[in-house]
Structures are given as structure tokens and as C-alpha cells.
């Protein structure tokens, strides 16, 4: 029999959910797309991301394959003794990626080249 205390949502569950949210945004996909990849409803994805529900090993496996990230990315921030590298992605980075994807390739190339010249001139 499973004890009631083992079913409680922990701080670790919330951290894993937050990491899932950040990784999904970095990939630029919706909760619906993530739900389809995990074979769950988008409401369940909302529960995972908010830390209201734990993610099973099977669902974590599907997430890892869909998002193409190392497993350690899901556990970043859980423990200082954990050797997993921190997930450095945030909402700002996701916005930058979405903005670049929306631009025509020639404009991206022109602006990136301008940025490189600017960085070199300030070095």
C-alpha cells in the first residue's frame, strides 16, 4: 500500500515541472504538442509544468526524446550534490529563438553579421 506522504507533491516535483516548462518554451512548442508526444492531455502537461503531478519514468523518457535534451536537464536545480549541469535556458532565450525563426534567412544573416562586427569592434 502506498502511504499518503509518498503521494505528496514535493519541491523536487515543482523544480522538475519548471524545468519541463523552460525546455518546452526553448523548443518553441505548445503544451498540446508536448502532450501529443507524451500521449497525455494538455491539461496533464499543465499539471506537470506547475508541479501538481509527478512525471513517470515512461513519460520522462518520451519527453527526453521529443525535446532532445539530456535527462539531467529535467533535474537541474534539485540538489547541489547533483552533478547535472544547470539548465541555463530561460524565457528570454526562448523569445530570441522564436524571433530569429520568424525572420527571413537573409535578414537573420545580415543582422547576425552586424552583431559580430559590433562585438569585434568593441573587443
Distance CA 26, CA 28 (A): 5
Looking at the whole model, is its pTM more than 0.75?
A: no
The tens place of each residue's pLDDT in the chain, 123 residues long, gives 444 545 678 899 999 999 999 999 988 899 999 999 999 999 999 999 999 999 999 999 999 999 988 888 898 888 754 444 444 445 566 667 777 778 888 887 778 777 777 777 765
Amino acid at each position: 500500500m502506498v502511504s499518503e506522504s509518498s503521494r505528496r507533491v514535493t519541491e523536487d516535483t515543482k523544480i522538475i515541472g519548471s524545468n519541463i516548462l523552460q525546455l518546452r518554451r526553448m523548443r518553441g512548442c505548445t503544451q498540446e504538442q508536448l502532450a501529443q508526444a507524451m500521449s497525455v492531455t494538455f491539461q496533464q502537461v499543465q499539471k506537470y509544468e506547475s508541479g501538481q503531478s509527478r512525471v513517470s519514468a515512461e513519460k520522462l523518457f518520451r519527453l527526453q526524446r521529443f525535446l532532445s535534451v539530456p535527462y539531467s536537464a529535467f533535474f537541474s536545480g534539485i540538489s547541489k550534490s547533483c552533478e547535472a549541469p544547470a539548465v541555463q535556458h530561460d524565457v528570454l532565450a526562448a523569445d530570441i529563438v522564436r524571433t530569429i525563426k520568424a525572420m527571413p534567412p537573409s535578414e537573420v544573416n545580415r543582422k547576425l553579421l552586424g552583431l559580430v562586427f559590433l562585438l569585434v569592434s568593441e573587443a
